[in-house]
Amino acid sequence: MIRIAFQGATGAYSESAARRLWPSGETVARDRFDDVFDAVKAGDVTHGILPIENSVGGSIHRNYGLLLEHDLPIVGETELTVVHNLLALPGTSITGIRRVFSHPQALAQCEQYVRTLPGVEVVATYDTAGSARLIREGGLRDTAAIASARAAEIFGLDILKAGIQDFQDTITRFIVIARDPVPLGPPDKTTLAFALQNAPGALFKALSVFALRDIDLTKLESRPARGLPWEYLFYVDVAVGRDDLRCTRALEHLAEFARWVRVFGSYRQWKVDGASPAMLS
């Protein structure tokens, strides 16, 4: 039985992403991203799903940090087009709203619309669907939530305004973690991190190990190295499986001069025009 942990309340976008991969799987809500990792590590669930990057808001840095803290491999990914809606208790009018609850990422993705609401206080919460639940449980008639249409259905709220995100093509990419390192499909993508000595040309040399082997980098991002002021580590996605000889040799080459290299997982890249193998199980 597939059991997938996700962060947030029932109706969260992460749950929708899990259901996209496993329509018949059991989803398990957890309060924090840390709790998703802990549930997978303890064997309470078979998989965990986590947002890692948004096409508008950028990377979810907390989850990159948790990948470093835990030894749980990435085994798959999926993408979800995000449609944000303004939700409130039945009978509430937009003119009567005094507060808007949602996750900081959702608030940032709907910034232009929120600005059109006069005198409204913006309140960041831990989750989009959780914001809808707070309104229902608290009977908050002067408050709206930014969340999914499914959250509106689950918590009995009205959609006052649909599709309020600033960009209509807002997409969130999610990764799947598990204890078992076997990928969900034939791997053609690898995620890794590495740190370099602070020396001239160090990053150029690091990236050249991929360029010399015609390996496409689909993501490159630097982040501060904890405890080392003004030192950085680099997160990289490459469009090749780890077992591909080009990738194997590139990683060996990189390890010759990097301070350390950590591979988070090799997995099948989500295909927009086709289903992931997990959807068939």
Q: Give the residue numbers marked as catalytic.
A: 172, 174
- List the strands of the sheet with 260-267, edge to edge: 217-224, 232-238, 189-195, 260-267
| Whole-number Å distance between alpha carbons of 124 and 259 | 38
Strand partners, 54: 58, 172
| Alpha-carbon dihedral sign for residues 197, 203, 208, 209 | positive
Judge whether 20 and 80 are in contact, CB under 8 Å.
yes
Burial 203-239 (b: 16+ CB within 10 A, else e): eebbbebbeebebeeeeebeeeeeeeeeeebbbbbbe
Q: Are 67 and 74 contacting, i.e. CB atoms less than 8 angstroms apart? A: yes
Token duo for residue 175: 């990764």
Please state, in angstroms and rounded to a whole number, the distance separating the CA atoms of residues 148 and 16: 9
The amino acid occupying position 204 is F
Whose structure tokens read 């990236």?
207
- Measured distance CA(92)–CA(35) in Å, rounded: 34
CA–CA gap between residue 106 and residue 87 (Å, rounded): 13
Quick one: which of 264, 261, 216 has its CA closest to 240?
216
CA dist 93 → 98, 117, 179 (Å) = 11, 12, 47
| CA separation for the pair 88, 190 (Å, rounded) | 42
DSSP reduced 3-state for 266:
strand
